[in-house]
Amino acid sequence: MENNKGTLQEIQEFLRSREKCNLLMVVINIVVFIVLEIMGSTTDTLFMVRHGAMYEPLVTQQGEYYRLFTCMFLHFGVQHLFYNMLLLIFVGDMLEKVAGKVRYLLIYLGGGLMGNVLSMVVAERTGNFAVSAGASGAIFAVVGALLYLVVRNRDRVPEELRRRMIVMALLSLIQGFTQTGTDNMAHLGGFLGGILICIVVCHRKNKKITYKR
């Protein structure tokens, strides 16, 4: 009983130490997954399409542009959710500590949308359509923003955090682009989108990026 109590306290302490907006994104993804699993199966492609997964012809031909947004909060199975959320809870926390809540949300949501837009444009041009979903485009936006901030603000970011950012960013990039069955265009678009948005919102004159302990 004492061991269980100690474990519960550790989990509570870990959650309390997380940045609030990033933790909110993680919670939303998990809640959406649980609700969909209760309603049906997140490994059922047609079920996922009916509930907001990305399928380019439905966006470009039927005008269902909401899919560019909703697909960021859907995951195909618990393993897909677990790996994305595990990465997000660390890299997202780093970005929010450095950039702040509002800028974090702009990068996460905006970069995720840009990744999905690039994926849609490329699919339309190549004719290679596939049902896709997941937070990975948004996570890659966070990774791109982190790398940009490390380069631009290396004198303001503690050395230990800087090393952690670079290692985490490189590992996520390698995993994302070498894993089979992933939407690489969404990853690339998210990564570049995160950098671009971060340049706009974090690189203003006299605007300092500070690390909050």
On whether the CB atoms of residues 143 and 104 are closer than 8 A, the answer is no
Catalytic site positions: 136, 187
Q: Dihedrals φ, ψ of 143, to 5°?
A: -60, -45
Angle between helix 159-178 and helix 136-152 axes, rounded to 10 deg: 140
Residue from 34, 21, 49 nearest 106 by CA: 21
Q: How far, in Å, CA of 151 to CA of 206, rounded? A: 17
